[in-house]
């Protein structure tokens, strides 16, 4: 099955740093943070005041009123990014190909905004407060379903829910669907809209989020010894995946080749990663083996890099276990320093950033890294990005429950 080569022919992105792929990448490339004071909800009653919000996203201007009224924010993000990605790929959906185009867009939390709204409406108004379409609106599968229905994509359709590794899992599994011949094209990624008072308070009570004590853009600081935790972010990243021979046959623009995928479980704790980093390291070595490359071939790692004290140290250990001494030679950065942690969408957004790094031969920085943690002693591209020859990129995603998913994207050379 592995002999089939999978390539990326389209990308879409809505994120805290931009509402298109190019706008987002321009800001990431230049170290501009999308993290700011929360505006989409009232934060008066909660301690968390800072997040990575998607800005200037007005559903009534972007979608038919049926979607704008009924769909959850995470569903609308997915539809928006999928439309950009499909248009970018140059694929026109027709009666001849619609059953060959599948959707695999996952989520970590799903339609949490719709769920919270429904509970509050029921509490306030009783049965009159429950909308007719409340149940289908809050189901996690509606993220992929909405994309399928609106774009008339009738191939395999499913929604992966794997916490913060979701985006990588959705992309990696979609590639396998293509290799199995279940589809000819896969629309794959992750979407999240988690900036809700209940969610933020839950994360606060778990002591996982950082707090602003001044400039909100300084709160997310992965690998810095002063880091306090991650900043919640929202958005959606989508890739269009095809078999290489199909993409070449239609003369498609090919951004990158998806060469490696590794997926393991910590089998350890509901939130904390294994302190030894062993399972995460195994996912990395799986991905390297799947790609047919060695540690010395890696040009860059887009780290999970959440900014929590435990995650950053554990990921550093895992990279050293997987790469050995070569770990000190591979540049690493956390784009979450600029987007915040987009949870189920994080891996997909970071796959887009990784592919853009391949395109531009440019490594994005880890901003706010001024006081490196002695236990995080690798090259994290601090504060300023750099030009570099980029051929193979590893992108890490680790989630609550011990999910580890690693992708490797490589320069397409024909």
Q: Phi and psi of 393, rounded to 5°?
A: -125, 135
Catalytic-labelled residue, pool 263, 341, 392, 403: 341
Token pair for residue 195?
């900036």
Whole-number Å distance between alpha carbons of 257 and 243: 10
Please answer whether residues 324 and 295 qualify as being in contact, where contact means their C-beta atoms are separated by less than 8 angstroms.
yes
The helix (run of H) or strand (run of E) holding residue 74 is: helix 73-89
Note if 304 is an active site residue: yes
Instruction: Find, among 374, 280, 373, the residue nearest to 318 by Cα.
Output: 280
Please answer whether residues 395 and 406 qualify as being in contact, where contact means their C-beta atoms are separated by less than 8 angstroms.
yes
Whole-number Å distance between alpha carbons of 7 and 240: 8
Please answer whether residues 221 and 368 qualify as being in contact, where contact means their C-beta atoms are separated by less than 8 angstroms.
yes
Residue 36: half-sphere exposure toward Cβ, Cα within 13 Å: 11
Whole-number Å distance between alpha carbons of 156 and 103: 6
Decide the pairing of beta strands 332-333 and 362-363. Answer: unpaired
Q: Phi and psi of 111, rounded to 5°?
A: -80, 60
Residue 144: half-sphere exposure toward Cβ, Cα within 13 Å: 25
For 93-181, where are the E strands, in sequence order? 101-106, 157-158
Catalytic-labelled residue, pool 164, 194, 236, 376: 164
Residue 142: half-sphere exposure toward Cβ, Cα within 13 Å: 21
Token pair for residue 390?
């980029």
Token pair for residue 257?
């080749």
Note if 64 is an active site residue: no
Token pair for residue 290?
């799947």
- Radius of gyration of the chain from Cα atoms? 20
The helix (run of H) or strand (run of E) holding residue 170 is: helix 166-179
Whole-number Å distance between alpha carbons of 400 and 384: 30
Q: Determine the 3-state secondary structure of 230 from DSSP.
A: strand
The helix (run of H) or strand (run of E) holding residue 204 is: helix 197-205
Catalytic-labelled residue, pool 304, 376, 392, 403: 304
Note if 341 is an active site residue: yes
Q: What residues are labeled active site? A: 164, 304, 341
């Amino acid at each position: 099955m592995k002999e089939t080569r999978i390539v990326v022919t389209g990308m879409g992105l809505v994120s805290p740093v931009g509402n298109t792929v190019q706008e987002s990448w321009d800001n990431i490339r230049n170290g501009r943070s999308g993290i700011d004071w929360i505006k989409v909800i009232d934060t008066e009653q909660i301690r968390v005041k800072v997040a990575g919000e998607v800005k200037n996203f007005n559903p009534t201007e972007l979608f038919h009123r049926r979607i704008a009224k009924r769909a959850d924010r995470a569903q609308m993000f997915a539809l928006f990014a999928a439309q950009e990605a499909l248009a970018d790929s140059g694929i026109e959906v027709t009666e001849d190909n619609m059953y060959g185009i599948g959707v695999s867009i996952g989520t970590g939390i799903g339609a949490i905004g719709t769920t919270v709204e429904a509970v509050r409406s029921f509490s306030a108004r009783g049965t009159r407060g429950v909308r007719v379409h409340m149940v289908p609106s809050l189901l996690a599968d509606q993220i992929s379903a909405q994309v399928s229905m609106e774009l008339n994509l009738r191939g395999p359709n499913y929604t992966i829910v794997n916490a913060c590794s979701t985006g990588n899992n959705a992309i990696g599994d979609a590639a396998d669907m293509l290799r199995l011949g279940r589809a000819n094209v896969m629309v794959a990624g992750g979407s999240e809209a988690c900036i809700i008072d209940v969610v933020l308070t839950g994360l606060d009570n778990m002591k996982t989020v950082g707090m602003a004590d001044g400039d909100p853009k300084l709160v997310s600081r992965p690998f810095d010894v002063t880091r306090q935790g991650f900043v919640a972010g929202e958005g959606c990243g989508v890739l269009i995946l095809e078999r290489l021979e199909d993409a070449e046959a239609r003369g498609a623009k090919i951004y990158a080749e998806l060469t490696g995928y590794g997926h393991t479980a910590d089998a350890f704790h509901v939130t904390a990663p294994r302190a030894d980093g062993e399972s995460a390291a195994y996912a990395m070595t799986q991905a390297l083996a799947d790609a047919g490359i060695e540690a010395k071939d890696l040009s860059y790692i887009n780290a999970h890099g959440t900014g929590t004290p435990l995650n950053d140290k554990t990921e550093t250990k895992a990279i050293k276990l997987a790469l050995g001494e070569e770990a000190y030679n591979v540049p690493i950065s956390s784009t979450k320093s600029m987007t915040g942690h987009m949870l189920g969408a994080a891996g997909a957004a970071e796959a887009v950033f990784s592919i853009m790094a391949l395109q531009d031969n440019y490594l994005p920085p880890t901003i706010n890294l001024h006081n490196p943690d002695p236990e995080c002693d690798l090259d994290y591209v601090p504060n300023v990005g750099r030009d570099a020859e980029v051929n193979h990129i590893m992108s890490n995603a680790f989630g609550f429950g011990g999910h580890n998913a690693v992708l490797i994207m490589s320069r397409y050379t024909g």
